[in-house]
């Protein structure tokens, strides 16, 4: 069984010169289309191997599992695996504070480290990611394989329009496209005037594929249009996105498709989980995200018990590396929300799927007057309203003892002619969300646009608590 799976080893080993048959939609036909139960059985053996490796090379996992009474050798069923305590971001921060800079979950020799990345640290102490040299090659292979699934081929030009700094998104996309023998344009993002320059370079190089965050793609379309250039002229065919919800939010997806005339592909787990593209749609199954279970083991779990929920149900993703030897994550809790299904995929891959993508973070969900509001619901709604100006903000504040939600949206309607827009949009939002909404409109192009991930929610209740 395992022997039939192409290049199935731990530690992983891939032939760096391998490319599939040009006519094959699959990079590894067997692994991608095999009976999912057989694949899961091979993964279970692998989970034990990865745990044995982590137990013997890291104090972090040894201490954690000893305290929980978990032994790698006992992981002979998925029920047993679900008893393995999850890793939280707080634990990683603590481990790095006590064992700087990479924490005591660094499982490889520090001489093996090839790249250092990290979180931006805007909301607390940054976390450092150390990625081994061999792991980087394996990540590149995995991402090349997933890009192949999206329809990207050797020789295609791939335009990477995301921050080239600590952020792993851009670097991971670059590594995959390089391994796939593409022509990569590591354009970047975030510097003054760079979006206008991106328009020029896209028009000049006419890439086949493009990578960014979804909000940045919308920003780029606005800038192109303001310069009199139709983004469809770039000739993009595949646009793949990660970093935030958007590519699976129906109205955002449609806005990108309409603006650029390209297929929109959603992908992405977490930076810690690089190869983060292990959740990704494909050319043949472009909606939602497939869980490439032989690269990273994805579970969708109850957020309290961290036991998997049945297919069809909502839960929080929990991720386990199957190939990383530097900082392997074993049951990393994401704090995100999603729903998973296992059904026939049109592309023929036998992976489970997140049909609505990852639709939000548990901690971004706004709890107001007993209701849960997902910011993506507001985004999805506003994009369907005629006269919406393209950007909005959600402010939650406490007035007296009552929580109040204010949605401030841009409109293209001229001042003095906004009454109907304000009334209809406000009442539409209110009935969609089930909470009272104070709706305000502002001029188009006045709210801040994201160059990276959007931050549309301002919860002033947290400030008043401090």
Q: Which residues bind ligand 8LH (CB under 6 A)?
A: 168-169, 242-245, 266-268, 270-271, 276, 334, 336, 357-358, 361
Which residue number places its CB atom closest to ligand 8LH?
268
Burial class of 212 by CB neighbour count within 10 A (0 to 12, 13 to 18, 19+): buried
Least distance (Å) from ligand 8LH to the CB of residue 222? 21
CA–CA gap between residue 241 and residue 244 (Å, rounded)? 8
Nearer residue to ligand 8LH within complex by CB, 70 or 300: 300
CA–CA gap between residue 134 and residue 112 (Å, rounded)? 8
Nearer residue to ligand 8LH within complex by CB, 212 or 437: 212
Q: Over the range 291-330, which residues count as b (16 or more CB within 10 Å of their CB) and which as e?
A: bbbbbbbbbbbebeebebbeeeeebbbbbbbbbbbbbbbb
Helix axes 59-68, 36-57, angle to 10 degrees: 110
The candidate with the shortest Cα–Cα distance to 264, out of 291, 283, 243, is 283
Least distance (Å) from ligand 8LH to the CB of residue 186? 15
Least distance (Å) from ligand 8LH to the CB of residue 183? 22
Burial class of 13 by CB neighbour count within 10 A (0 to 12, 13 to 18, 19+): middle
Least distance (Å) from ligand 8LH to the CB of residue 364? 8
Least distance (Å) from ligand 8LH to the CB of residue 358? 4
Nearer residue to ligand 8LH within complex by CB, 314 or 424: 314
Tokens of residue 237, six digits: 């065919």
Residue 290 contacts residue 279 (beta carbons within 8 Å): yes
CA–CA gap between residue 280 and residue 357 (Å, rounded)? 9
Nearer residue to ligand 8LH within complex by CB, 336 or 410: 336
Q: Chain-centre distance of CA 378, in angstroms?
A: 20
Nearer residue to ligand 8LH within complex by CB, 57 or 334: 334
Least distance (Å) from ligand 8LH to the CB of residue 435? 23
Nearer residue to ligand 8LH within complex by CB, 244 or 299: 244
Run of H or E including 258: helix 250-260
CA–CA gap between residue 214 and residue 3 (Å, rounded)? 39
Least distance (Å) from ligand 8LH to the CB of residue 438? 27
Least distance (Å) from ligand 8LH to the CB of residue 372? 16
Nearer residue to ligand 8LH within complex by CB, 132 or 268: 268
Nearer residue to ligand 8LH within complex by CB, 224 or 358: 358
Q: Chain-centre distance of CA 347, in angstroms?
A: 21
Tokens of residue 385, six digits: 């309203």
């Amino acid at each position: 069984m395992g022997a039939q799976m192409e290049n199935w080893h731990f530690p992983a080993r891939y032939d760096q010169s391998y490319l599939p048959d040009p006519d094959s939609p699959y990079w590894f036909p067997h692994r991608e289309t095999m009976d999912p139960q057989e694949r899961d059985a091979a993964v279970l053996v692998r989970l034990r191997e990865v745990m044995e490796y982590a137990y013997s090379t890291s104090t972090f996992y040894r201490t954690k599992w000893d305290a929980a009474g978990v032994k790698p050798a006992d992981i002979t069923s998925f029920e047993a695996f679900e008893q393995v305590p999850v890793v939280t971001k707080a634990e990683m921060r603590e481990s790095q504070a006590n064992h700087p800079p990479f924490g005591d979950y660094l499982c490889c020799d520090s001489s093996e480290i090839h790249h250092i990345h990290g979180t931006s640290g805007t909301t607390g102490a940054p976390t450092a990611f150390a990625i081994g040299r061999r792991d980087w090659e394996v990540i590149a292979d995995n991402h090349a394989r997933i890009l192949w699934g999206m329809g990207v081929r050797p020789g295609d030009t791939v335009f990477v329009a995301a921050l080239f700094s600590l952020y792993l998104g851009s670097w991971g996309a670059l590594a995959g496209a390089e391994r796939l023998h593409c022509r990569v344009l590591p354009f970047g993002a975030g510097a003054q005037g760079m979006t206008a320059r991106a328009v020029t370079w896209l028009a000049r190089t006419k890439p086949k594929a493009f990578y960014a965050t979804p909000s940045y793609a919308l920003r780029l379309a606005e800038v192109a249009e303001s310069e009199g250039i139709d983004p469809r002229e770039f000739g993009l065919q595949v646009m793949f996105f990660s970093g935030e919800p958007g590519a699976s939010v129906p109205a955002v997806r449609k806005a990108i498709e309409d603006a650029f005339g390209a297929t929109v592909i959603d992908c992405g787990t977490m930076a810690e989980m690089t190869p983060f593209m292990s959740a990704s749609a494909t050319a043949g199954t472009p909606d939602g995200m497939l869980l490439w279970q032989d690269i990273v083991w994805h579970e969708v779990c109850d957020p309290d018990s961290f036991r998997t929920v049945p297919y069809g149900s909502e839960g929080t993703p929990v991720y386990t590396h199957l190939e990383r030897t530097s900082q392997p994550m074993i049951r990393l809790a994401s704090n995100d929300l999603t729903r998973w299904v296992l059904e026939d995929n049109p592309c023929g891959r036998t992976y489970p799927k997140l049909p609505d993508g990852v639709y939000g973070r548990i901690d971004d969900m706004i709890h107001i007057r007993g209701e849960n509001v997902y910011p993506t619901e507001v985004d999805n709604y506003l994009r369907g309203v005629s006269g919406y100006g393209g950007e909005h903000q959600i402010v939650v504040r406490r007035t007296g003892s009552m929580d109040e939600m204010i949605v401030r949206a841009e409109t293209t309607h001229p001042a003095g002619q906004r009454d109907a827009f304000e009334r209809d949009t406000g009442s539409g939002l209110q009935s969609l969300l089930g909470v009272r909404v104070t709706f305000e409109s502002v001029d188009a192009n006045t709210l801040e646009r994201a160059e990276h991930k959007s931050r549309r929610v301002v919860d002033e209740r947290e400030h008043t608590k401090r």
